[in-house]
Structure 1
């Protein structure tokens, strides 16, 4: 997924898309510098104060931030794989999308902020960062027994194991992703971006699950040790996609500090909702100005009636059938010990491709 840009392209891309927030982060993540957080920090001269502080004092966290951004973009590509805009990582088009204030941009901001939260928290639990570790549970109330438990009599409950310190990941995501932007004409856009960042982080933080392990002789459960774990990131993506589908259109209030839902009898969006201010293009045809690659040549499902169906994905332009022959492993057998040997089989597949 690495996007290789020339030095001139990198410079132009960065200048056009400052001040840095998720766009600047994408510039760093999408370049070959991603594996070297020190290089990211050296090249990103316009990083805001909090970001620059992280670069100078905690470069290993910047590395996890970059991993989290990649995690978010990969999840975006999975969730949007059947949509007209499929979260393409093409640098010229992706940058154009992020300059707009549409629903797709709201999802990118949210899923990337969630990815950073998830990656940093995971690194803490794995012992990859010196600044954090397992969640502190000293002052936490004891866990409640699950509702399916037949009897809680005689069973002791306590926190233990290595719970995920989501508060640390949340704070580092906020520190890097919410670097303040210039006030003035961008006030409304800033409020929207910060709101969607927070919605992404909350999709991780508010859905921590409790995992427990029983201890005792002969399978008995005289003691149950429990800890908090983050939701799987696919669950986070699914949850944010639901918010995308129900995203609220907003406009700025007269005070320049509030956002008002557009339309009558519409409730104000809560902190977990995604918001936007401009309507999305239809993404049917290629258009560099809007960041649309179009859907020509995209695979579609000729029998489906949903967004993956050829009628919707191909924008009613029609589609063609094409036969593709490819090679894959088949007739695999396990040989003791410990080798799996497979034959190569030619597989013929019928594809539907948009005109």
Structure 2
């Protein structure tokens, strides 16, 4: 199995409800199964491994959000999820990218929050001043770096160190090259889209000085961007030298570093199949009027759907009582659902 997914494949990771729950202490107890750099992190920087675990969970949750209306919905069922990771399909490419991005994002955020001794805010003293943005009151404004910028390079390097360790050992293997590429695409979806935020300083609301810092994109933006790459993913094959990847098809440009790549076609995920990691779509909620992937025609694979009325309980008539309790009643709500047959 490929890059960094000792995390998701060995007993250090278990499905406890949803999403996938990872125990960093268990990960580090299994250091004999980990590559050298991973074992080194466990021994010397266990707090980093804790953020690795958080970042992987962040990535899996985002995967489940992005695929919530698709036939494969990034299920965290361990037996089925593991089968997905053993293949080299588009869905696997997305999982590798989003989890590598999640690890980078989580570690960087922990640095900015002061939760790690190894890092803090980004050093911006040598950076060129930010470009002024057009807007009222910004003419003649002085600029300087300040605040707490996100040290995304530290998060990028730690994600690379942990997630790429296994694949680097066999980097002439085509599968390893694909996994390394998709890991990098995930990290770049964070690092390449840093934004500049500024705050005005001055008397009476004037903006005589602007202090600026760099922030990571919100992780939902990262997920949205990687889903676009998933939809346009490149199918590749190995070159004769065993070290290069060639796009499959005529007149196709080579994928760039931010593209997702795969080498095998995905199953249709219509029926349950443990070999492919498909849970099928029977019983899934669908939208009977939608024409996209959430629509009953596509999600139910042409098998049709049934309409069902369910009664749900939810909080209602909530009141705030001083101080500081919110009391709610339980109300029954009838809801019409369409379910795949």
TM-score by length of structure 2 reads 0.94
Distance 1:91 1:240 in 2: 23
Q: Which residue does the alignment assign to 2:57?
A: 70
Q: Secondary structure at the match of 2:165?
A: coil
Q: Which residue does the alignment assign to 2:4?
A: 22
Distance 2:246 2:155 in 1: 30
Q: Which residue does the alignment assign to 2:115?
A: 128
Alignment of 1:285-300 (within 5 A): 285-300=271-286
Alignment of 1:54-65 (within 5 A): 54-65=41-52
Report the alpha carbon displacement of residue 151 of structure 1 after superposing the two structures with TM: 4.1
1:48 equivalent in alignment to 2:35: yes
User: For 1:108, which of 73, 80, 95 is the aligned residue?
Assistant: 95
Count of matched residue positions in the alignment of Structure 1 and Structure 2: 335
**Residue deviations 1:237-263 (CA, integer Å, cap 9, x gap):** 000000000000000111111111100
Report the alpha carbon displacement of residue 40 of structure 1 after superposing the two structures with TM: 1.5
**Residue deviations 1:110-139 (CA, integer Å, cap 9, x gap):** 000000000000000000000000000110
Report the alpha carbon displacement of residue 45 of structure 1 after superposing the two structures with TM: 1.8
**Residue deviations 1:34-93 (CA, integer Å, cap 9, x gap):** 675343211242211111110110000000000000000000000000000000011111
Q: Which residue does the alignment assign to 1:13?
A: none
Distance 1:257 1:35 in 2: 33
Distance 2:156 2:222 in 1: 14
Distance 1:283 1:34 in 2: 24
Distance 1:36 1:320 in 2: 40
User: For 2:125, which of 114, 131, 138 is the aligned residue?
Assistant: 138
1:334 equivalent in alignment to 2:316: no
User: For 1:314, which of 296, 300, 304 is the aligned residue?
Assistant: 300
**Residue deviations 1:174-206 (CA, integer Å, cap 9, x gap):** 00000143538x711011000000000000000
Report the alpha carbon displacement of residue 287 of structure 1 after superposing the two structures with TM: 0.5
Deviates more, 1:36-45 or 1:65-74: 36-45
Q: Secondary structure at the match of 1:45?
A: helix
Report the alpha carbon displacement of residue 283 of structure 1 after superposing the two structures with TM: 0.2
Q: Which residue does the alignment assign to 2:186?
A: 200
TM-score by length of structure 1 reads 0.91
Distance 1:227 1:37 in 2: 32
1:343 equivalent in alignment to 2:329: yes
Report the alpha carbon displacement of residue 331 of structure 1 after superposing the two structures with TM: 2.2
Residue segments in structure 1 that go unaligned for 5+ positions in a row: 1-16
Query: Cα RMSD over matched residues?
Result: 1.7
Report the alpha carbon displacement of residue 144 of structure 1 after superposing the two structures with TM: 1.1
Residue segments in structure 2 that go unaligned for 5+ positions in a row: none
Q: Are the equivalent residues in 1 in contact too, given 2:15–2:78 (CA < 8 A)? A: no
User: For 2:26, which of 39, 61, 77 is the aligned residue?
Assistant: 39
Classify 1:31/1:341 alpha carbon distance in 2 versus 1 (closer, same or farther; 3 Å): closer
Distance 1:296 1:145 in 2: 54
